[in-house]
Structure 1
Amino acid sequence: MHKSSKDLVKCISRFQSLLVLVLMVIAISLLSDRFLTAANGWNIMRQISVNVCLSIGMTMIIIAGGIDLSVGSILALAGAVTAGLIKSPVPIPWLGIELDFTLAGAMIAGIAVGMLLGWFNGQMITRVRIPPFVATLGMLSIARGLTMLWTKGFPITGLGSSFAIIGTANFLGAPVPVWISGLLVLLFIVVTKKTRFGRYIYAVGGNEQASRLSGLDVDRIKLWVYTIAGGLSAVAGLIATSRLDSAQPNAGIGYELDSIAAVVIGGTSLSGGQGSIWGTVLGCLIIGVLNSGLVLLDVSPFWQQVVKGIVILMAVAIDRLRNRGEDQ
Structure 2
Amino acid sequence: MSTSTSVKPALVPSRSTRSFLNPRWLPIIVLALVLIVFSTQTHGFYSLDNAKVVINSASIVGIIAVGVTAIVLGGRLFSLSVGTTVAICAMFFLYSLRVGMVLAILLTLLLGVVVLALQGWLVGRLRANPIIVTIGAGALQEGVVTWVTGGVSVYPPAHGPSYGFLAAPLFGLPFPVYVFVVVAVLGEIVRRRTVFGRQIMLMGESLPAARASALPITRLTTMAFAAAGLTAAVAGVLLGAFNQSGTLTTTGTLTYDSIAAVLVGGTAVTGGTGSVLRSAVGALVIAAIEDMLLLRGYSSPVALLVLGVIVACVVVVNHLTRRAKEAS
TM-score by shorter chain over 0.5: yes
Letter of the 1:42 partner, please give it: K
Does 1:59 pair with 2:69? yes
Answer whether contact 2:121 2:221 (CA < 8 A) is retained.
Answer: no
Deviation, 1:54, is 1.0
Deviation, 1:20, is 2.6
Look up the SS of the partner of 2:40 in the other structure.
Answer: helix
Look up the SS of the partner of 1:246 in the other structure.
Answer: coil
Answer whether contact 2:24 2:318 (CA < 8 A) is retained.
Answer: no
Query: Structure 1 residues 189 and 20, CA, compared in 2 at 3 Å: closer, same or farther?
Result: same
Answer whether contact 2:84 2:248 (CA < 8 A) is retained.
Answer: no
Distance 2:252 2:81 in 1: 10
Look up the SS of the partner of 1:326 in the other structure.
Answer: helix
Look up the SS of the partner of 1:157 in the other structure.
Answer: coil
* Map of 1:47 onto structure 2: 57
* Map of 1:31 onto structure 2: 41
Distance 2:30 2:241 in 1: 32
Identity %: 26
Q: Per-residue CA shift, 1:241-299, capped at 9, x if unaligned?
A: 11111111322243211111111111000111000011101211111011110111111
Look up the SS of the partner of 2:127 in the other structure.
Answer: coil
Look up the SS of the partner of 2:51 in the other structure.
Answer: helix
Answer whether contact 1:48 1:288 (CA < 8 A) is retained.
Answer: yes
1:70 pairs, out of 78, 81, 89, with: 81
Letter of the 2:229 partner, please give it: G
Answer whether contact 1:262 1:283 (CA < 8 A) is retained.
Answer: yes
Distance 1:147 1:251 in 2: 13
Does 1:276 pair with 2:275? yes
* Map of 1:129 onto structure 2: 127
Superposition RMSD in Å: 2.0
Distance 2:32 2:312 in 1: 20
Answer whether contact 1:72 1:252 (CA < 8 A) is retained.
Answer: yes
Letter of the 1:289 partner, please give it: A
Deviation, 1:147, is 2.2
Question: How many residues in Structure 1 have an aligned counterpart in Structure 2?
Answer: 307
Answer whether contact 1:56 1:280 (CA < 8 A) is retained.
Answer: yes
* Map of 1:164 onto structure 2: 164
Distance 2:161 2:103 in 1: 16
Distance 2:217 2:232 in 1: 23
Distance 1:190 1:244 in 2: 31
* Map of 2:226 onto structure 1: 227
Distance 2:161 2:108 in 1: 18
Answer whether contact 2:201 2:273 (CA < 8 A) is retained.
Answer: yes
5 Å-filtered alignment, 1:144-223, equals: 144-158=142-156, 162-166=162-166, 168-223=167-222
Answer whether contact 1:73 1:253 (CA < 8 A) is retained.
Answer: no
Q: Given the two structures, how large is their TM-score scaled by the length of structure 2?
A: 0.88
Look up the SS of the partner of 2:163 in the other structure.
Answer: helix
Letter of the 2:318 partner, please give it: D
Distance 1:85 1:305 in 2: 34
Answer whether contact 2:81 2:138 (CA < 8 A) is retained.
Answer: yes
* Map of 2:242 onto structure 1: 243
Does 1:143 pair with 2:141? yes
Answer whether contact 1:123 1:223 (CA < 8 A) is retained.
Answer: yes
Deviation, 1:154, is 0.9
Letter of the 1:78 partner, please give it: C
Answer whether contact 2:90 2:233 (CA < 8 A) is retained.
Answer: yes
Structure 1 stretches of 5 or more lacking a match? 1-6, 89-100
Deviation, 1:161, is 7.6
Distance 1:161 1:200 in 2: 41
Q: Given the two structures, how large is their TM-score scaled by the length of structure 1?
A: 0.88
Answer whether contact 2:154 2:246 (CA < 8 A) is retained.
Answer: yes
Structure 2 stretches of 5 or more lacking a match? 1-16
Look up the SS of the partner of 1:130 in the other structure.
Answer: coil
* Map of 2:304 onto structure 1: 305
Distance 1:253 1:29 in 2: 24
Q: Per-residue CA shift, 1:198-230, capped at 9, x if unaligned?
A: 111100100122122223212111111111211
